[in-house]
Amino acid sequence: MRNNGKDVLQLSQNQSESSTGETIGESATGNILSSNGKYIELTDPLDGSLIKNSTFAVMGNTLSKEVRKVTINDVTATLSPVNQTFVLQNITLTSDIVNLVYKAY
């Protein structure tokens, strides 16, 4: 998997509103940074990873206990508030390059 997350982030600069009324930005890869410094972190697959299967999972960490929901390409990931992790299983590869858009609420 290879993507141009920084370019997509610069183009989108979309904002989502969290349940606390604070704004959390969107990213296509790596970390998501909100206006007040909260993050989520992608742990697998890493940017530039080569995926040989037709489906894959995305896993990561929430670096703030205030994150209550994570979506990837508008599909809600399973969130573990206790472990501060999230996972979305069975994402289908549709082309050679896959851009993932993450949102944290």
70 and 77 Cβ atoms separated by less than 8 Å: yes
**71 phi and psi angles, rounded to 5 deg:** -120, 150
Joined together, the tokens standing for residue 58 give 């995305």
Q: What is this structure's pTM? A: 0.64
What tens digit of pLDDT does each residue of 17-74 get? Answer: 333 333 344 444 444 443 333 678 889 998 788 888 999 999 999 998 889 999 999 9
Q: Which of 38, 29, 33, 21 lies closest to 73 in space, CA to CA?
A: 29
What tens digit of pLDDT does each residue of 84-101 get? Answer: 999 999 999 888 888 888
pLDDT score recorded for residue 7: 53
From residue 45, how far is each of 23, 32, 48, 101 by CA, in Å? Answer: 26, 15, 8, 13
pLDDT score recorded for residue 5: 52
